[in-house]
Chains A and B, each alone.
Chain A
Amino acid sequence: MRRILHLLVISTQREILQWLAWRAFLLTLIINQMVAPLIGLAIWSVALPGNHQISTYYVALLAVQLMTVSYENHTVANGIYDGTFSQQLLKPQPVILGPLGTNIALRVLHLLFGLPLLIIVGIGMGTTWDVRMILLALPALLLAAILRFLFTYLLALSAFWSEQAHAIVSFGETLIFLLGGSAAPIALFPANLHILGEIAPMYALLGFPAEIMSSGLQQSQILSGYGWQILWILVFALALQLIWRSGLRRYTAIGG
């Protein structure tokens, strides 16, 4: 375990250094990630003027988005397509460590580079924060980060079978946008969609921690939200194992 953790730290450090060399490109990626929550913020603060909670919610969502970004369609799927994935298979370590290191590195850099804009928007929109709620949201944030990684990694593994992995991941991202609380906060969904929104994995990996941070949930909702997060993590981890095993058998060194 210690060895694996050590390898993960090394991989993360190496990726941070590598990505720092691509600062300008990284900045465009960060802006790309911020656009959807910013548009949501603009729309909803015009639609519901004077509602500070909704501004707080969207600024929190912006932070969650930056801390949970996942690009496994690029880091994993492309490797399967061009065959460089074979090198990962030869290394005497679990293959997932490579993409996981890149993932953590990118999240750290996204937060670091996005922080100034986050603070400006937060102050500009007159947001208010409750420190207790932020502390309560930290475990949810960690679980959301794990779930988002598993979700994107699972979709990216479709590269073993199909040429459309990028489109499949972007399909998943549209679902996250729609059901994750980015297009509209789940609380504002029509009544019949509300239940579906609350139990969907997309909400667990994006909207839920943001909603705790903006003090939009009652205690019972927070508890059941944590329950759904853990359940979805177990489901996705299991699915990942199955897909990984059968995908690996299909893989040939010349690509998927």
Chain B
Amino acid sequence: MKLIRILAASFSLSLRRELTFRANLLFQLLLTILNITASFLVLGAVYTQTRTLGGWSLGESMSLLGTFQIVSGIYATFVEPNLSWFAGQVRDGKLDSALVQPVSSLFMLSLGKCEPLALSQVLPGLLVVAIGWHNLGTIPTGWSILGWLILLAVGLIIAWAARVLLACLSLWVPSMDLDVLYSALWQFGRYPVDIYRQPLRFCLIYILPFAFLATFPAGILTGKSNPLLPLIGIATGALAIAIVHQAWNISLRRYT
């Protein structure tokens, strides 16, 4: 409860700070719309040449693209502002202030800051999912929407967990800044993992599970995936949280 209150306070403070720079909001919105248009045009060009892409129809791929946009927006709002250039913070000793606060350091350092304006990416994402549904001509059932929401949450937990684990790595090797790498690999989530060849596909499902970002949730929504996937997802999410807690506590001992 206390953590939620802190999160809400940080959200409101950041929102007030960001609203001072309204031009930034406009620019960010423009960039988001351009990015989505770009992905849309790519899909359009691909589907004029073929009817399915790795077994995904146009409507299904659009649902996936929208889902990816939603996850990216929430991630950019709550997780990304915290752990960026973490290795630099370790080197400069900037973790001190978070460590002495009477709240879990993992929470403060990985979720304590946010950028509310990035939430503006979520709305176009929802729109794209809706267009995808329209294109498919079917209305998803209540269960598939529930499964989609669960897997969306799991995707976010995994994205957060993977980012924290990379931050833990920075505590062991402070010269390692993996921000650029993480955001580069993130882009692989934009399309169904089925299109990638092995061993890349194996990595995206089991090692750095970016398949959970969009492929699995969109699969449930369009009835392509195993209906038990949300249960597997919940177990994976819980496991990810447990691993992160353990890894964080062990790695933090390295901080001096």
Q: Do A and B come from one complex?
A: yes
- Interface 1/0s, chain A 1-43, versus B by CB < 8 A? 0000000000000000000000011001101100110010011
Give the residue of B35, B44, B178 whose beta carbon is less than 8 angstroms from that of A28: B178
Give the chain A neighbours of B249 by CB distance below 8 A.
Answer: none
Q: Is B107 interfacial (CB-CB < 8 Å)?
A: no
Contact assessment for A183 and B31 in the assembled complex, using a CB-CB cutoff below 8 Å: no
Give the chain A neighbours of B187 by CB distance below 8 A.
Answer: 35-36, 39
Contact assessment for A48 and B49 in the assembled complex, using a CB-CB cutoff below 8 Å: yes
Question: Residue of B at shortest CB range from A27?
Answer: B181
Question: Residue of A at shortest CB range from B51?
Answer: A47
Question: How far, in angstroms, from A28 to B187 measured CA to CA in the complex?
Answer: 14
Question: How far, in angstroms, from A164 to B24 measured CA to CA in the complex?
Answer: 8
Question: How far, in angstroms, from A24 to B175 measured CA to CA in the complex?
Answer: 8
Q: Is A46 interfacial (CB-CB < 8 Å)?
A: yes
Q: Is A171 interfacial (CB-CB < 8 Å)?
A: yes
Give the chain A neighbours of B28 by CB distance below 8 A.
Answer: 167
Q: Is A174 interfacial (CB-CB < 8 Å)?
A: yes
Q: Is B207 interfacial (CB-CB < 8 Å)?
A: no
Q: Is A170 interfacial (CB-CB < 8 Å)?
A: yes
Contact assessment for A42 and B195 in the assembled complex, using a CB-CB cutoff below 8 Å: yes
Q: Is A129 interfacial (CB-CB < 8 Å)?
A: no
Contact assessment for A47 and B53 in the assembled complex, using a CB-CB cutoff below 8 Å: yes
Contact assessment for A35 and B185 in the assembled complex, using a CB-CB cutoff below 8 Å: yes
Q: Is A189 interfacial (CB-CB < 8 Å)?
A: yes
Question: How far, in angstroms, from A229 to B188 measured CA to CA in the complex?
Answer: 32
Contact assessment for A28 and B181 in the assembled complex, using a CB-CB cutoff below 8 Å: yes
Q: Is A177 interfacial (CB-CB < 8 Å)?
A: yes
- Interface 1/0s, chain B 18-61, versus A by CB < 8 A? 00000110011011001100100110111011100110000000
Q: Is A178 interfacial (CB-CB < 8 Å)?
A: yes
Q: Is A210 interfacial (CB-CB < 8 Å)?
A: no
Contact assessment for B41 and A174 in the assembled complex, using a CB-CB cutoff below 8 Å: no
- Interface 1/0s, chain B 182-206, versus A by CB < 8 A? 0111011011000111001000000
Give the residue of B45, B177, B185, B197 whose beta carbon is less than 8 angstroms from that of A25: B177
Asked if A42 meets B196 with Cβ closer than 8 Å, knowing A31-B184, A174-B35, the reply is yes
Contact assessment for A43 and B195 in the assembled complex, using a CB-CB cutoff below 8 Å: yes
Contact assessment for A184 and B31 in the assembled complex, using a CB-CB cutoff below 8 Å: no
Question: Residue of A at shortest CB range from B177?
Answer: A25
Question: Residue of B at shortest CB range from A124?
Answer: B197
Give the chain B neighbours of A174 by CB distance below 8 A.
Answer: 31, 34-35, 38
Q: Is A251 interfacial (CB-CB < 8 Å)?
A: no
Give the residue of B46, B54, B181, B197 whose beta carbon is less than 8 angstroms from that of A184: B46
Mostly, the A contact residues are: helix
Question: How far, in angstroms, from A46 to B179 measured CA to CA in the complex?
Answer: 29
Nearest CB in chain B: distance from A137 CB, A: 24
Nearest CB in chain B: distance from A154 CB, A: 18
Contact assessment for A167 and B53 in the assembled complex, using a CB-CB cutoff below 8 Å: no
Q: Is A244 interfacial (CB-CB < 8 Å)?
A: no
Contact assessment for A164 and B183 in the assembled complex, using a CB-CB cutoff below 8 Å: no
Question: How far, in angstroms, from A52 to B148 measured CA to CA in the complex?
Answer: 37
Asked if A46 meets B27 with Cβ closer than 8 Å, knowing A31-B181, A35-B187, the reply is no
Q: Is B176 interfacial (CB-CB < 8 Å)?
A: yes
Nearest CB in chain B: distance from A210 CB, A: 17
Give the chain B neighbours of A44 by CB distance below 8 A.
Answer: 46
Question: Residue of A at shortest CB range from B182?
Answer: A28
Contact assessment for A32 and B49 in the assembled complex, using a CB-CB cutoff below 8 Å: no
Question: How far, in angstroms, from A171 to B34 measured CA to CA in the complex?
Answer: 8
Contact assessment for B176 and A24 in the assembled complex, using a CB-CB cutoff below 8 Å: yes
Residues in A57-115 with C-beta less than 8 Å from chain B: none
Give the chain A neighbours of B177 by CB distance below 8 A.
Answer: 24-25, 28
Question: How far, in angstroms, from A35 to B188 measured CA to CA in the complex?
Answer: 8
Q: Is B180 interfacial (CB-CB < 8 Å)?
A: yes
Kindly name the residue among A32, A174, A189 whose own CB sees the greatest number of chain B CB atoms within 10 A.
Answer: A32
Give the chain B neighbours of A31 by CB distance below 8 A.
Answer: 180-181, 184-185
Nearest CB in chain B: distance from A17 CB, A: 17
Give the residue of A24, A25, A43, A183 whose beta carbon is less than 8 angstroms from that of B38: A183
- The 8 A-B residue pairs with the shortest CB-CB distance, nearest first, are A32-B184, A28-B181, A184-B45, A28-B180, A47-B50, A46-B195, A183-B42, A178-B38
Can you give 16 A-B contacts (C-beta < 8 A)? A35-B184, A35-B185, A42-B197, A46-B54, A47-B46, A47-B49, A48-B49, A164-B27, A171-B34, A174-B34, A183-B41, A183-B45, A184-B46, A189-B45, A190-B44, A190-B45
Additional A-B contacts beyond A28-B181, A29-B180 (15; CB < 8 A): A24-B175, A28-B180, A31-B185, A32-B180, A36-B187, A42-B195, A43-B46, A43-B53, A46-B53, A48-B49, A167-B31, A171-B30, A174-B35, A188-B48, A189-B45
Q: Which residues of A contact B (CB under 8 A)?
A: 24-25, 28-29, 31-32, 35-36, 39, 42-44, 46-48, 124, 164, 167, 170-171, 174, 177-178, 183-184, 188-190
